[in-house]
Amino acid sequence: MKIDTRKIPDEGITLVEEFSPAKLDLDTGIIKFSGPIKAKAVVAKSYSAVSVNLALEAPMVITCSRCLEEINTGFNRQLELHYAVDKLEPVINLDPDIREEIILNYQINPLCGIDCKGLCAKCGGNLNNGSCSCKSK
């Protein structure tokens, strides 16, 4: 997502963009998206600075770190970014900040639920689906 500071009117501007996670180099296998990232930027400009109120939304697939089930979830984040107006480089590229925000807010050990029972250490059965036969012995 790019913002041309020369094209921001005095009253500000709202930009909406949808882009592929691959464009941000985010489809790494650890973070999996199931659709495009939607970004809405409310941009305001003062004499020397640009402030961006950015809302990010993306469908995401996470793998539970206990039971290894894949869960469809969503990434939702609102953040405020500030940039200095640089006459030599009037176009601001938001992609590095968007990428960082997503990585920083990604849960390292996600769970399908706080009460996830995980997998049986013996048979590997998913204990959320009921106790496995190991227990009845």
By beta-carbon proximity to Zn ion, the closer residue of 48 and 72 is 72
CB of 108 to Zn ion, least distance (A): 15
- Decide: is 64 part of the binding site for Zn ion (CB under 5 A): yes
**Distance from C-alpha of 49 to C-alpha of 18, rounded to nearest angstrom:** 25
CB of 119 to Zn ion, least distance (A): 8
Q: Answer yes or no: are the C-beta atoms of 14 and 40 closer than 8 Å.
A: yes
List the one residue from 38, 116, 119, 137 that touches Zn ion (CB under 5 A).
116
Look up residue 90 and give its two tokens.
């009037």
Q: How many CA atoms does the CB half-sphere of 95 hold within 13 Å?
A: 13
Where along the sequence are the contacts to Zn ion (CB under 5 A)?
Answer: 64, 66-67, 112, 116, 120, 122-123, 125, 132, 134
